[in-house]
Structure formats: structure tokens, C-alpha cells
Structure 1
Amino acid sequence: MTDSTPAASDEAAQNAALQKAVIVGLQPGQPAHVLEEALRYAKLLGSPLVVVHVDVTRFVTYEDPDGYVHSAPIDLNLDAGVAEFEDVQEAAEQQLKTTDIVWTARQLVGDPALAIKQLAEKLDAQLIVVGTRKRGLGESIREFFTGSVAARLAHRQYRSVLVVPQEEPVPDEQEDVWSE
């Protein structure tokens, strides 16, 4: 099951159906085992699964009393976030098509850690699952300025955060984790 991003009138009803969910934050091209781990925990906990993509090219302008979030673009390329969400949603549909678990996909906007935290509060989520970043200089610079989403989630709310490592771990003898 998937419903993509709900309209304001539908969000409250959908949130009620998704209480105690497992939330997994995904980006396009992320290893499939991140979603596999989230699915495994959703099954173990008997919970619905919410696949989340956060569009960092948009920011929240205001939130209606009913919870509907209005956003505005940072960049004029409005289609980038939409295309990324479609990629995440399509990958999730392919990976989850044979499962009988209730799941949905949502696109959030703004700071990933804060957006996921807010959704976790609305759904009273049992667990948040995120993957580690790819290794590389560009990613290390980005993390220096924005911080680790997993670390920021772990320090800014009380729910458990499962951090799923990349498929290829750094060898023990490699001193510099970010050299690739």
C-alpha cells in the first residue's frame, strides 16, 4: 500500500492508521538493505512502515492548525525534490510489493532530522531507521556543515534510532574513513 504525500484533510486519518509506525528515511540510490532492515523491524513490532524522503531544497513556511505544512523552494529547480521522491517511492514499491505489511510513502521538507522528528511525534513512532552516508570528500564536507542526521535525531528526541551501515564497511586497517 502506498498513498504518497497526503492532502491536509486526509493526513489526520492516515496518521491515526499509522500510529506506532516504524519510520525509515531514504534517499535515491540508497542501498536496499536500509529498507530491508526497517521492514524487518516493522514486522517484528507488528507496526506499519512509513518510507520518508526529505526534500532539502524546500523549507517550511508555516503549518496550519490541522497539521498541513506549507513550504517554499530554496532553489528554482522545483522538480528535483519531486523526482527524488518518485525514485524513492518507486524503489520502495518494488522492494515491498510482495510483503503484506501496511506501508506508505511520505515526502517531508526542510531539515531532515527535524522533519523526521516531527513526523515521529505525530505518529508516536516506535523506531526511526536511517542509513549511513556514502564515503567521500563531498559527503564529509556536507556532514561537517549539516551534521549527521542520525546523531541529530539521537540527541533531539527520545525514540530509538537504528543506523544501518553501508554495504561495504571500511576495513579496520584503513585509518581515513572518508578517503574514498
Structure 2
Amino acid sequence: MSDAVSQPQTRRPHRPVIAGIVPGQPARVLREAAQYARLHGAALLIAHVDITRFVSYEDPDGYVHTAPINLDAIPSEALEAQLRDQATAALSGIDVAWSLEMLAGDPALAMKDLAERTEARLIVVGTRKRGIGDSIREFFTGSVAARLAHRQPRPVLVVPLGEPVKDDEDPWRDRQEWPEELWPGS
């Protein structure tokens, strides 16, 4: 690896590699995405989708207006700063131009739309950690990676975040017990 430094960009790149991130996610997702961006000679467009906001309307010039689901919520500039710091740390030493895009709404649909607008080459996302809350959410909404793979033509790279489950291992062995209100008698 070279001593090169990551370079944040100020405008949205054309034909980038998109990396979907969440706060506190392991650096591996961004580092894998950056390597693919370098292989393609492309910029890295890091996208975070705020699921607590929705798109209210879009101006003809492309500016997107969002509103919080909770009308008492205050937009979090701290979250954007946290994600920018997370990206800077994860991409330290990797020579790739990158920018951060804050989106709102459904993660799969928002990243699909961003990929279409930028003519992205590839979308990179991480897996979820195994846990009962994520399992229930995924049951009802579906996996973001699976929804992306079925709803747009670009390749989707799914980066495992934890240790893989062995073929003979029960993936639910370490799960928490079901809450009584969700599964009486568990």
C-alpha cells in the first residue's frame, strides 16, 4: 500500500463506485469499495440513507427536499460529521477520490436512484450483524443487498462484516431470546 492520502471530493462523481454505509460499520466495507474504485479508475461515492427522513419533493434542478418522519426531530449535522470522520479513518492510506452523499428514505430505493443518476459502476454494501432485531426488520423489509440486486442492473458486492457461519453451524445459535410480545411462550 502506498503512502497516498484519500482525497474528499466536493462534487458528485460520474460513473463512481457507490458504498452504502451506516454509523459504526466496520471499515472493511469502505476499504473494499475503495479498492474496486481504484481498479476501475473511478471515484468512490459514499452514501448514507437516513431512514428517519423521507423525500418530500425534488426541485427541477435536482435538489432534494426531505422531511423527518418525526416532525419534532432536528436534522443531524453531527451524523454527517461522524460519517465523514469514519470515512476519513477507513480510507487512510488509500489513494482514491471520495465524497459523501446523505440520502433519505428507503435504503435500497435511495441507492438505486443515486446509482442511476451517477451511472454507477458498482454498489458495495455490508451484511448485517446477526441479531434478533435485524432479523425481524429484514424479514419484513428484505435485505438491502437483495433488493438492490433485483431492482437495478449494476453489480452489487456484499461484504461480510462478521465471521462467516460454518456450514454445520446454526446461524441463530447466538441469538437473543424472542421478546414475549413478539413470540409468546418462547
Question: Normalised by the size of structure 1, how large is the TM-score?
Answer: 0.86
CA distance in 2, matches of 1:170, 1:82: 37
Q: Which one has a larger percent helix, Structure 1 or Structure 2? A: 1
CA distance in 1, matches of 2:78, 2:148: 25
**Match of 1:94, as an amino acid?**
A
CA distance in 2, matches of 1:160, 1:72: 31
Aligned pair count?
168
Identity %, equivalent residues: 55
Counterpart selection for 2:8 from 2, 14, 19: 2
Matched position secondary structure for 2:56:
strand
Question: What's the offset of the Cα at 1:29?
Answer: 1.3
Alignment partner, residue 158 of structure 2: 163
CA distance in 1, matches of 2:57, 2:45: 23
Matched position secondary structure for 2:49:
strand
Contact 1:137 1:178 in 2 (8 A): no
CA distance in 2, matches of 1:78, 1:98: 35
| Moved >6 Å (runs of 4+) | none
Distance 1:69 1:178, change over 3 A: farther
Contact 2:49 2:110 in 1 (8 A): yes
Alignment partner, residue 77 of structure 1: 73
Alignment partner, residue 119 of structure 1: 114
Question: Normalised by the size of structure 2, how large is the TM-score?
Answer: 0.84
Contact 2:9 2:97 in 1 (8 A): no
Question: What's the offset of the Cα at 1:118?
Answer: 0.8
Runs of 5+ consecutive residues of structure 1 not aligned to the other structure: 5-13
Matched, 1:33 2:39: no
Task: Kindly provide the CA deviation profile for residues 149-177 of structure 1, in whole angstroms up to 9, marking residues without a partner as x.
Answer: 00110111100000011231122222234
Q: Which moved more, 1:86-95 or 1:19-28?
A: 86-95
Alignment partner, residue 133 of structure 2: 138
Aligned CA RMSD, in angstroms, stands at: 1.7
Runs of 5+ consecutive residues of structure 2 not aligned to the other structure: 1-6, 176-186
Alignment partner, residue 59 of structure 2: 64
Counterpart selection for 2:46 from 24, 48, 51: 51
Alignment partner, residue 152 of structure 1: 147
Alignment partner, residue 98 of structure 2: 103
CA distance in 1, matches of 2:171, 2:32: 27
Counterpart selection for 2:124 from 116, 123, 129: 129
Question: What's the offset of the Cα at 1:145?
Answer: 1.8
Question: What's the offset of the Cα at 1:3?
Answer: 5.2
Matched position secondary structure for 1:129:
strand
Instruction: Flag the structure with larger Rg.
Output: 2
Distance 1:178 1:51, change over 3 A: farther
